């Protein structure tokens, strides 16, 4: 693992380059988005979530929709058949077990079909401003590449990041890493030549020269 001073330096550089969100997003919208996001880009999953909410209007109506109706609305999200089933079950469960409100704890969010730890953290962070770091593919790749964490499992990485970053920095760190991953340090082809932290990065030096 790299030293704390280096982590602070990385944080300061990214903070100058990227912004941090300043408003909460409706929890049902975020929940539908994360349920549609698996193997699907944001450009597909956000509009699909919005179409579903626009057609269904509320959780109760969506829980009564036919599965093939949901499938048509959320297509072309990958695995749309499985996702449609999970969305219907999730809406029913929210009504029956959570008084029609989106759960505010990780434990309860993870009881919903199709919602894992990362998805739960995204809802907690984006909708309820809870101090958690959602370990998605960008965050995992960046913290492993920069050796901020050597862990490979998202839950272990999350634990380590929560030990490194205090509660009041976690939302910020999450936003900075995700934007950095989307713009420069992406998992398939990091743009090392234009990277503002290439001098700190221990990534394969031969690749940095390309």
Residues 156-175 binding ligand SF4 (CB under 6 A) are: none
Among residues 23 and 209, whose Cβ is nearest to ligand SF4?
A: 209
- Rule CB under 6 A: is residue 195 a binding residue for ligand SF4? yes
- Rule CB under 6 A: is residue 148 a binding residue for ligand SF4? no
- Rule CB under 6 A: is residue 145 a binding residue for ligand SF4? yes
160-171 burial string, b = 16+ CB within 10 Å, else e? bbeebbeeeebb
The binder of ligand SF4 chosen from 27, 56, 114, 190 (CB under 6 A): 190
- Rule CB under 6 A: is residue 103 a binding residue for ligand SF4? no
Alpha helices in 37-188 (DSSP H): 42-56, 59-64, 67-74, 80-97, 106-109, 117-128, 137-145, 154-164, 167-183
Structure token pair of residue 3: 């030293």
Q: How far apart are CA 118 and CA 191, in angstroms?
A: 26
Q: Which stretch binds ligand SF4 (CB under 6 A): 13-21, 25-33, 161-169, 187-195?
A: 187-195
Length of the chain measured in residues: 210
Binding mask 58-87 for ligand SF4 (x = CB under 6 A): ------------------------------
Minimum distance of ligand SF4 from residue 194's CB (angstroms)? 8
- Rule CB under 6 A: is residue 139 a binding residue for ligand SF4? no
């Amino acid at each position: 693992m790299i030293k704390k001073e280096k982590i602070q330096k990385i944080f300061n550089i990214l903070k100058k380059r990227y912004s941090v969100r300043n408003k909460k997003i409706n929890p049902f919208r975020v929940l539908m988005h994360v349920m549609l996001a698996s193997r699907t880009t944001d450009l597909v999953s956000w509009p699909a979530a919005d179409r579903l909410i626009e057609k269904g209007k509320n959780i109760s109506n969506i829980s009564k929709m036919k599965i093939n109706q949901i499938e048509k609305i959320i297509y072309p999200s990958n695995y749309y058949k499985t996702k449609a089933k999970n969305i219907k079950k999730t809406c029913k469960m929210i009504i029956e077990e959570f008084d029609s409100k989106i759960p505010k704890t990780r434990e309860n969010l993870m009881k919903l079909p199709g919602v894992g730890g990362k998805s739960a953290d995204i809802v907690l962070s984006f909708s309820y401003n809870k101090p958690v770091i959602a370990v998605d593919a960008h965050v995992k790749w960046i913290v492993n590449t920069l050796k901020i964490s050597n862990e490979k499992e998202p839950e272990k990485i999350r634990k380590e990041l929560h030990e490194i970053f205090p509660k009041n920095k976690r939302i910020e760190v999450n936003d900075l890493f995700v934007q950095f991953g989307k713009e420069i340090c992406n998992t398939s082809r990091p743009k090392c030549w234009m990277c503002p932290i290439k001098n700190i990065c221990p990534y394969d030096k031969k690749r940095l020269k390309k």
